[in-house]
């Protein structure tokens, strides 16, 4: 079932920073929550908000189309991070979110993320057509 997407709907979730989500180039060993991993967790929070509240039919989902995120503070592996997403704008199938991330001390990330609502089967058909074209090049 698909419901009309409303603004000001929010979702919060908590994750624990895992070893595969950190940088390893600053010093030996896993250490700092990486920016790509933080962004991926923010995106998933937004995706889950849409799936749980508005896109409950398995034929519908969303894909990320824009990220504008600032990584503000370093967070070590093993730390619990709280992620927040809030729908701030809806235009046709494009949904814009305000996103934030916090560890137990401070805000570690903030920004905007946009997702586009898709029909999974139609998306896959278009993708498969492109894949076939690429194979012939």
pLDDT in tens, 35-70: 999 999 999 999 999 999 999 999 999 999 999 999
Residue 30 lies inside a defined structural domain of this protein = yes
Supply the range of the domain harboring residue 104.
10-136
Q: Where are the alpha helices (DSSP H) in the chain?
A: 35-53, 120-136
Residue 2 lies inside a defined structural domain of this protein = no
Residue 108 lies inside a defined structural domain of this protein = yes
Residue 5 lies inside a defined structural domain of this protein = no
Residue 93 lies inside a defined structural domain of this protein = yes
The structure's pTM equals 0.92
Residue 131 lies inside a defined structural domain of this protein = yes
Segment 67-81 shows an average pLDDT of 96
CATH number of the domain within which 95 lies: 3.10.129.10
SS3 (DSSP) at 80: strand
pLDDT of residue 1: 58
Pairing of strands 60-71, 107-119: antiparallel
What are the tens digits of pLDDT across the range 80-133?
999 999 999 999 999 999 999 999 999 999 999 999 999 999 999 999 999 999
- Structure tokens of 72? 């503000």
The number of distinct structural domains making up the chain is 1
């Amino acid at each position: 079932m698909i419901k009309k997407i409303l603004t000001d709907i929010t979702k919060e979730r908590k994750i624990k920073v895992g070893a595969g989500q950190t940088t390893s180039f600053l010093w030996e060993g896993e250490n700092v929550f990486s920016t790509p991993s933080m962004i991926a967790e923010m995106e998933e929070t937004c995706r889950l908000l849409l799936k749980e509240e508005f896109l409950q039919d398995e034929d519908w989902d969303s894909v990320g189309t824009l990220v504008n995120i600032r990584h503000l503070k370093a967070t070590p592996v093993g730390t619990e991070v709280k992620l927040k997403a809030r729908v701030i704008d809806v235009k046709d199938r494009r949904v814009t979110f305000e996103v934030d991330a916090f560890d137990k001390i401070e805000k570690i990330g903030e920004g905007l993320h946009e997702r586009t609502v898709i029909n999974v089967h139609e998306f896959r058909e278009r993708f498969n057509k492109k894949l076939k074209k690429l194979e012939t090049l």
